[in-house]
Structure 1
Amino acid sequence: MADSSVKPGPGLRAYLDASRTQDRLFADIQKHVLLKATHSDRRTDVLHPSEMIKTDWCHRAAAYALTHGPIRPSTTFTRENIFAEGHNTHAKWQRWLQEMGRLAGDWHCLSCDLTFWCDRVPTKCLGCTADAERCIEYAEVPLNAPRLSIGGKSDGYCPDDGCLVEVKTLGLGSLRFETPGYIDKFEVHAEGRSGYDLARMWRGVTRPLPAAWRQGQLYMYLANHFEDLAVDHMLYIYDFKPTQETKSFRVAYDESASEPLIEAAAVITDCVETGTLPLCSINVVRGCKSCRAYEEKP
């Protein structure tokens, strides 16, 4: 029988809190989701673009993570629910592009477990010839630079359009975090209640959020330099969670935007190979909370 326990560490408090939920079945669902989160299949031997584009990405902590493994952050059921909803949104848009015959990338056969690249939507598995409609699922677009220790995936690749596709869900939380003060401009008060003018707020979103823009530029750099994919722009598709409205943004490739990240990845990789550590890129003197977390571990 599989071990269903959660060991002490990140996520244990949320797991125990779920046990105290009034409804037993609902509590069991939460515990199941939190238990799954402790067995992530996310690669630990690469630099992830989604981490590299953060303004507080620490080069020293990244080197520690490659050599000692990442420090798993704590999680909650709400956070895992947000991740799951984002995954479902990606799958929706990918399915529509697949039905249109416009999607290329990796494909995974549920029958024989083979993952293979195809420049067009396949009609059958290249290994066992299983029917695509029943057995093939989209496995996105691998974007790897092995000599720089970078590994990631884009949500889609449309070769006829010369673009990568990134699907984003947008809520008040992400707007508040990435664009401080933005949603405050749309706060309204009436009859003793307060809320937000969501229609005006959504109209005011006229470009990808900063982190998404940086991530898209890095993906295009990897596609052009390491994966031999001819892309000259990124198509961002945004789903606005409060109203389910959507919009898209087309952003041209700017190679210079990613050059500092590529240079940093080269330095980190060289340090790991020589058994040294780069300086903290956030605070050279004192270090930052990310690298100190490794150095202060018992």
Structure 2
Amino acid sequence: MASRVVKGGPALTEYLNATKSAEPLYGDVQKHVLEKAMRPSGRRQDVLHPSEMVKADWCHLAAFHRLRRQAEPAEKRRTTFTRENIFQEGHETHSKWQRWFTEMGRLAGDWHCRACDQIFWDDQTPTCCRVCSASRRCVEYAEVPLNADPLRIGGKADGYSPQDSALIEIKTLGLGSLRYERPEFLERYMVETEEFGKLPDLTRLWRDFRRPLPSAVRQTQLYMYLCVHFEDLEVDRTVFFYDFKSTQETKSFTVTYDEGFSEPLIEAAAAIVDCVKSDTAPRCNINGRSGCPSCIEFKEQK
């Protein structure tokens, strides 16, 4: 039997800590999850991902290197059991909402057949596999591919409803998300308690949460641009569905398409692709000649 290996770094520390768990089964499941997390993810490295493009620290030079080498920088994958647990919870939330929309016949997109392992497009819930005619039970939703091949942009939206001319985005909201993206909003609802110090007033916080997080809005604007200009999908808005982790309450929000929002990102992508074609590295747009952490990681691999 092949030995199990987890590479050094934070993941190795977490893995070794799992071996010290007082309950062996708990330690074993942590090690199992971390081993899975360190395997190649299958995430495409030959495209620009919208989720990265919309970040304030998106480095054009790092993007150039990744497209050119089609590889992540060394030690890019860092994780913990808690982080993987959060990711899995998000996947489960996606599956739940997508299952409901599928039952309603409101989802269009790619569908995957487990019987023949083929993917096909359908504008509504298919009654069988379009490739091998396997029963509906063999077919699962595979989301909405959004690609701009000339610009080497590739991503996926959580859903698409042709009847509503809308993309669908499914999100979970936790205190960690707010702490990272809207710390000033979270701080507004922190209250002092005698026994535990500062704690968030979850009822008031959720009541006053009235718009999607900024990164989600930026990403979906780019998704809608791809729909309109490259995928020929009729889209004029994105509908967000948020699950609040702390209470399992839900909310929805609508963001309308803004044509001009994504134009600077599209121009940057075109410039990066031109640099790849000419094999001429652009300057780091984050920190000039010195470089930023993202592109320095690539330089250190030389």
Aligned twin of 1:31: 31
Deviation at 1:182, TM superposition (A): 1.5
Q: Is the 8 A contact 1:105 1:157 kept in 2?
A: yes
Is the partner of 2:100 in helix, strand or coil? helix
Is the partner of 1:182 in helix, strand or coil? helix
Aligned twin of 1:93: 97
Q: What is the rounded CA distance, in whole Å, between the counterparts of 1:19 and 1:228 in structure 2?
A: 52
Deviation at 1:11, TM superposition (A): 2.3
Q: C-alpha offsets along residues 131-183 of structure 1, whole Å, 9 cap, x if unaligned?
A: 11x11110000001111111100000000000000001000010111012221
Aligned residues: 297
Q: When the two structures are superposed, what TM-score results if normalisation uses the length of structure 2?
A: 0.95
* 1:3–1:274 distance in 2 versus 1, CA, 3 Å: farther
Among 280, 285, 289, the residue aligned to 2:289: 285
Aligned twin of 2:72: 70
Indicate the RMSD between aligned Cα atoms, in angstroms. Answer: 1.4
Task: Give 1:83-122 correspondences, 5 Å limit.
Answer: 83-122=87-126
The one-letter amino acid of 2:72's match is P
Is the partner of 1:250 in helix, strand or coil? strand
The one-letter amino acid of 1:70's match is E
Q: Which runs of 5+ in 2 are unaligned?
A: none
Q: Is the 8 A contact 2:165 2:237 kept in 1?
A: yes
Aligned twin of 2:142: 139
Q: Is the 8 A contact 2:236 2:257 kept in 1?
A: yes
The one-letter amino acid of 1:223's match is C
The one-letter amino acid of 1:58's match is C
Does 2:61 align with 1:49?
A: no
Task: Give 1:120-131 correspondences, 5 Å limit.
Answer: 120-131=124-135
Q: Which runs of 5+ in 1 are unaligned?
A: none
Q: Tell me the percent identity.
A: 60
Deviation at 1:292, TM superposition (A): 1.0
Task: Give 1:112-261 correspondences, 5 Å limit.
Answer: 112-132=116-136, 134-194=137-197, 195-261=199-265
Q: C-alpha offsets along residues 185-214 of structure 1, whole Å, 9 cap, x if unaligned?
A: 111223433321111111221111110000
Q: Is the 8 A contact 2:90 2:171 kept in 1?
A: yes
Among 272, 275, 287, the residue aligned to 1:268: 272
Is the partner of 1:169 in helix, strand or coil? strand
Deviation at 1:38, TM superposition (A): 1.6
Q: C-alpha offsets along residues 74-110 of structure 1, whole Å, 9 cap, x if unaligned?
A: 1111111111000100110000000000000000001
Q: What is the rounded CA distance, in whole Å, between the counterparts of 1:119 and 1:263 in structure 2?
A: 31
Q: When the two structures are superposed, what TM-score results if normalisation uses the length of structure 1?
A: 0.96
Q: Is the 8 A contact 1:10 1:73 kept in 2?
A: no
Deviation at 1:216, TM superposition (A): 0.7
